[in-house]
């Protein structure tokens, strides 16, 4: 079985400040972890993924995420937030034995000018 939790429905941050969007997962076996972003009236877009190797993964638009196996977490981070980063962010997990990713409920990121 696989599951994902995004504990925050909404994250508010001021422009220029660092941001973190949290994600924890539960799987049997090794996880493949993803972050997607959804802008208003659009489909989800891939940001980054962790498969294996370096625990710090860099992705699109300056985002990065850190895989922490002991804490079963994969938090999304950005050093300096932009107003244009405001969107809905989804964490997803899949294991090698599954064909279907499990998505979290999403976290709304609001960056204030």
Partner 1 sequence: DAGVIQSPRHEVTEMGQEVTLRCKPISGHNSLFWYRQTMMRGLELLIYFNNNVPIDDSGMPEDRFSAKMPNASFSTLKIQPSEPRDSAVYFCASRTDRGHTNEKLFFGSGTQLSVL
Nearer to partner 1, 45 or 80 (CB): 45
What is the Cα gyration radius of the chain? 13
> Minimum distance between the CB of residue 60 and partner 1, rounded to whole angstroms?
11
For partner 1, the binding residues (CB under 8 A) are 32, 34, 36, 41-46, 49, 51, 90, 94, 96, 98-101, 103-106
- Give the C-alpha separation, 94 to 102, whole Å: 6
Which among 81, 43, 90 has a CA at the least distance from the CA of 61?
Answer: 81
> Minimum distance between the CB of residue 71 and partner 1, rounded to whole angstroms?
21
Nearer to partner 1, 48 or 81 (CB): 48
HSE-up (13 A, CA, CB side) for residue 110: 6
- Give the C-alpha separation, 19 to 77, whole Å: 6
> Minimum distance between the CB of residue 68 and partner 1, rounded to whole angstroms?
19
Nearer to partner 1, 59 or 78 (CB): 59
């Amino acid at each position: 079985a696989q599951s994902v939790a995004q504990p925050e429905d909404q994250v508010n941050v001021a422009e220029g400040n660092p941001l973190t969007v949290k994600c924890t997962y539960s799987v049997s076996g090794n996880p493949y972890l993803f972050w997607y972003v959804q802008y208003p009236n659009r489909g989800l877009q891939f940001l980054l993924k962790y498969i294996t190797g370096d625990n710090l993964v860099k992705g699109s638009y300056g985002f990065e995420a850190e895989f922490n196996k002991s804490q079963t977490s994969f938090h999304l981070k950005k050093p300096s937030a932009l107003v244009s980063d405001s969107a809905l962010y989804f964490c997803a997990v899949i294991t090698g034995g599954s064909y279907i990713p499990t998505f979290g409920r999403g976290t709304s990121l609001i960056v204030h000018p």
